[in-house]
Amino acid sequence: MGKVLIALNEEEQLMLQRICLDKDAEEALEFVLQKIAPKIPKKIPCLAGVLMQPER
């Protein structure tokens, strides 16, 4: 798996800093699932990629 770069806005950066200071595992997981995971590009299955190509 390659590297993934994401951008966090100022509010998200503050939230992440607070989570790190608090060492709150539950809040950290919630942050990852709600703020980070949606920003990671999803790969589509090969068959779906072929089906979505325009006809030639």
Cα–Cα distances in Å, from 15 out to 23, 38, 44, 56? 12, 16, 31, 48
pTM: 0.66
Q: Report whether 35 contacts 8 (CB < 8 A).
A: yes
Domain boundaries, given as residue ranges, for the chain: 10-52
For 5-51, write each residue's pLDDT tens digit.
889 999 999 999 999 999 999 999 999 999 998 888 877 666 555 55
Percent helix, strand and coil across the chain, each rounded to 5? 60, 0, 40
Single out the residue of 19, 15, 12, 21 nearest to residue 39, CA to CA: 12
Q: Report whether 38 contacts 2 (CB < 8 A).
A: no
